[in-house]
Amino acid sequence: MSVIAQEADAEHFRDVFEKIRGEISTFIVGQGDIIEHVLIAVVSGGHVLLEGVPGLGKTALVTTLSQVLDLHFQRIQFTPDLLPADVVGTQILVERGGDKVFEFQPGPVFCQVLLADEINRATPKTQSALLETMQERSVTVANRTHRLEPPFFVLATQNPIEHDGTYPLPEAQLDRFFFKLTVSLPSHADFVEILHRTSGNTPPEVRPVASGEDILRMGRTLREVPIAKEIEDYLVRLVRATHPMDPHAPDEVRHYVRHGASPRAAQAILAASRARALLQNRFHVAAGDILAVAIPAMRHRLILSFEGESAGVLPDDVIRAVLDSGPRPGDDRYSDYQIH
- Domains observed in the chain: 3-79+109-218 (3.40.50.300), 225-334 (1.10.8.80)
DSSP string, 288-325: HHHHHHHHHHHTTT-EE-HHHHHTT--HHHHHHHHHHS
C-alpha span between 290 and 269 (Å, rounded): 6
Per-residue three-class SS string for 66-82: HHHHCCCEEEEECCCCC
Under a CB-based contact definition with an 8 Å cutoff, are residues 328 and 260 in contact?
no
Q: Please write the tens of the pLDDT for every residue from 168-192.
A: 888 888 999 999 999 988 888 888 8
Convert the pLDDT of each residue in 80-111 to its tens digit.
999 998 999 888 878 777 778 888 888 899 99
What is the percentage of the chain residues whose pLDDT exceeds 90?
56
pTM above 0.95, yes or no: no
- Summarize pLDDT for 227-280 with one digit per residue, the tens: 999 999 999 999 999 999 999 999 999 999 999 999 999 999 999 999 999 999
Q: What band does 331 get if pLDDT is binned at 50, 70 and 90?
A: very low
